[in-house]
Structure formats: structure tokens, C-alpha cells
Amino acid sequence: MATYLKNLSDYQRDRVPNGAKFRVGIVVSQWNDDITLGLLKGAEQTLLENGVEPDNIIIRFVPGTFELPLGAQMLLEADEEMDGVIAIGCVIQGETRHFDFVCEGATKGIMDVQLEYGVPVSFCVLTDNTKQQSIDRSGGKHGNKGVECAVACMQMIGLQKELEP
């Protein structure tokens, strides 16, 4: 297991660019909000700790994980100065194949948005077998994947700015 005995919140700050000039959107699923709000807290705190101004963090909510790609696209279309988006969701395995369809649609949709718009969209979607696994990864014993995804988003924004002509 990739997170076995690892804290997802551990990262090297010297590898994260200063976000003072970054504008970052966060789109959050309301489904499983006891989990997604914890992920949001980790992501938002990490952005702030790394220099992103509070007014440059734009948070919007969507009904569920399946709606994250369109929510990210809407943020990018509404705000042309958006440097990156963090898409936060949580899908927990159930008794039907619904889990598979939602996870596949969200994954492909988020990738499509980032490639279409040329803007980093960080995939912060927990796809766990149990609720306890999600709790462990949203502020529990494995840290907070929201932190990890905020770091990844900032690193990709930094790379994009570095490569701009």
C-alpha cells in the first residue's frame, strides 16, 4: 500500500515555489463532506503557508465527485487569471459498480480539463475501500492528501511559469 506508515502531509518546503502571485481555485465535492472538508482545510492551509494570498484562493462547491471536472472548467472559464485548480472529492467503494463509473469519469474529466486549458488541475480525489481509509487520509493517521495535492498544484504552477516565454 502506497501510504502504509507514511504521512501524506510531510513535504519539503524548499521544493514548493512561493505562491505570492498565484491564483488558485479549489472545487470541492459536497458528497462525503465530512471527508472533503478536511481535505479542503489541508489544501487551503498549505496554499496560505506557501504564500498564496487569501483573496487569491477561490473555493466553490459541486454536488459530487462526478461534477468536479465541470466545476474546474467553470472556474477556469470564469477567471482567466486562475493559475491552477485543486479538485477535491471522495468516493468510497460500495456494493455496486457506481464507484467505478464515478472514479473513471472524474479521473478522465479532470485530466481532460487540465490538458484542454493548459492549466494544472490537481487530482485530490480519495478512492478508498472504506470510510476509515478516507478518514485516515483526510487529516488522520496518514496525514492529509489535501496538503499533498496543494503542493503538487503549486509545483506545477511554478513549472508552468518557469517555462513561459
Please say if 98 is a catalytic residue: yes
Residue 27 and residue 89: Cα distance in Å, rounded? 9
Catalytic choice (6, 15, 98, 161) = 98
Contact 82, 48 (CB under 8 A): no
Using CB atoms within 10 Å of the CB of residue 51, give its burial: 0 to 12 exposed, 13 to 18 middle, 19+ buried.
middle
H or E element in which residue 62 lies = strand 57-62
Using CB atoms within 10 Å of the CB of residue 138, give its burial: 0 to 12 exposed, 13 to 18 middle, 19+ buried.
buried
Residue 90 and residue 74: Cα distance in Å, rounded? 20
Contact 103, 64 (CB under 8 A): no
Q: Active-site positions?
A: 98
